Amino acid sequence: MKVNGVVIPLGTLAGAREYMQSKSRFTAAEIEAFISTSLSLCMDKAIARDAAYRAADRLLQRERKGGRIAYSRGYWSAVGVSEAR
């Protein structure tokens, strides 16, 4: 995925997907932080944050459209993962 001229490594995206599947609930900010942390290892932190914000949004929407995650009550969750209430 390419965001604002920054190439997001496939390993980073795969790691973010695994993170989403391993959690019962998560926020977009958590996914953004995961991607930003990975990117900041190899580039300026300000650039990493900007790219991570957009990449997280694209990834969440792609996963939602694919039916792998759903948004409810302020949280994203993997489809099929029961939520403790």
Is it the case that residue 46 has pLDDT exceeding 50? yes
Specify if 85 maps to a domain. no
CB 16 within 8 A of CB 68: no
pLDDT computed for residue 84 by the predictor: 45
pLDDT computed for residue 80 by the predictor: 67
Specify if 50 maps to a domain. yes
Specify if 83 maps to a domain. no
Query: What's the pTM value of the predicted model, to 2 decimals?
Result: 0.84
| Sequential DSSP letters for 3-71 | ETTEEPPHHHHHHHHHHHHH-SSB-HHHHHHHHHHHHHTTS-HHHHHHHHHHHHHHHHHHHHHTTSEEE
Q: Which residue in 51, 54, 4, 57 sits closest to 27, CA to CA?
A: 57
Specify if 6 maps to a domain. yes
Specify if 84 maps to a domain. no
φ and ψ at 27, to 5 degrees?
A: -110, 165
Number of domains in the chain: 1
% pLDDT > 70, the chain: 93
- Domain extent at residue 55: 2-78
Cα(26)–Cα(21) distance, integer angstroms: 10
> Residue 72's domain is classified under what CATH number?
1.10.10
